[in-house]
Structure 1
Amino acid sequence: MSELQTFGRAPSLDDIAALAETAFQALPSGFRQLAGEVLFRVEDFAAQEVLDSLEIEDPFELTGLYHGVDIASRSVLGPSPAPSMVFLYRRPILDEWADHGEITLDELVTHVLVHEIGHHFGLSDDDIHAIEAAAE
């Protein structure tokens, strides 16, 4: 009789949140200080309204999202903005992880987190991709 191999369970929302917190704490302290009070939230998928507003049809195409007023657009004279939030979407992250067998889940969560914090700093997707390309 053959023995069944145990593969474990898929990482939960809490597991992804723990990976994101570990990734954030591993960032240089200056980067964390500049990020300030950014809240992290993990959901299975983006809400349909979010996907519609971004004109994304396939919910698996969005692994993360920054929501808030980026620090470059804030003003000391303006009203205090609501806390900035970084959303991480578990199912698209897991799907991308499965597709890219050469990276760990920790590395992917860190990548998505840093990308979204880049938006908090006022960087565009093109800016972030250029920084990533220069770092390679």
Structure 2
Amino acid sequence: MSDGGGSNWAETRSPSLAEIEALADAAFVALPEEFRALCAGVRIHVDDFPDEETLTEMGCESEFDLLGLFRGVGLAQSGEVATGQMPNAVWLYRRPLLDYWAEHDETLGHLVTHVLLHEIGHHFGLSDDDMAAIEAAADAIEPPDTVSG
């Protein structure tokens, strides 16, 4: 049975680390230049899962609990990398992302973009509560009426 969109699900494989990284790179490139400039030096990594140390540090019950993570010194703290300090980085975790994607009605590209922006928000010094409030305010804005009369 066809899905009508031409996809052959019998031949479709799970996206690889490189394919998730390509989605993240495309999402980053699509950001406004001013925003990207503030992210200079932030590296984007894609791994299958967070390591055990990260899971413990973040209080995760399962390796599927964490979709992404920002590590480093954000702009609000100083923004500059000190000698010997690891560069600021965002990690995206492929398997938890794919698990979340399978359970929700959104595209993989949208999900990767959302998690990437969330983690970059931490680079800007925003807390999870700050970002939740921004997202709630954005969701409350009604889209313009596109019906033409």
Please tell me whether Structure 1 or Structure 2 has the larger radius of gyration of its CA atoms: 2
2:64 aligns with 60
Is the aligned partner of 1:34 residue 2:35?
no
User: Could you give the per-residue CA deviations for residues 44-74 of structure 1, whole angstroms, max 9, x where no partner exists?
Assistant: 0000110001111111110000010111101
* Separation (CA, whole Å) in 2 of partners of 1:91 and 1:57: 15
1:47 aligns with 51
2:142 aligns with none
Q: State the SS of the aligned residue for 1:66.
A: strand
Question: Matched residues, percent identical?
Answer: 52
1:92 aligns with 96
Task: Give the helix-richer structure, 1 or 2.
Answer: 1
Q: State the SS of the aligned residue for 1:72.
A: coil
What is the TM-score of this pair, normalised by structure 1?
0.90
What is the TM-score of this pair, normalised by structure 2?
0.83
Out of 67, 70, 74, the residue aligned to residue 70 of structure 1 is 74
* Cα contact 2:73–2:79 (8 A) shared by 1: no
Q: In the TM superposition, what is the alpha-carbon distance from 1:37 to its structure 2 partner?
A: 1.3
Residues 95 and 75 of structure 1: CA distance in aligned 2, closer, same or farther (over 3 Å): closer
1:122 aligns with 125
Residue segments in structure 1 that go unaligned for 5+ positions in a row: none
> What root-mean-square deviation, in Å, do the aligned CA atoms of Structure 1 and Structure 2 show?
1.9
Q: In the TM superposition, what is the alpha-carbon distance from 1:87 to its structure 2 partner?
A: 0.2
* Separation (CA, whole Å) in 2 of partners of 1:21 and 1:5: 25
Structure ranking higher on relative contact order (CA contacts 8 Å, 6+ apart)? 1
Is the aligned partner of 1:17 residue 2:24?
no
Question: Aligned pairs, how many?
Answer: 132
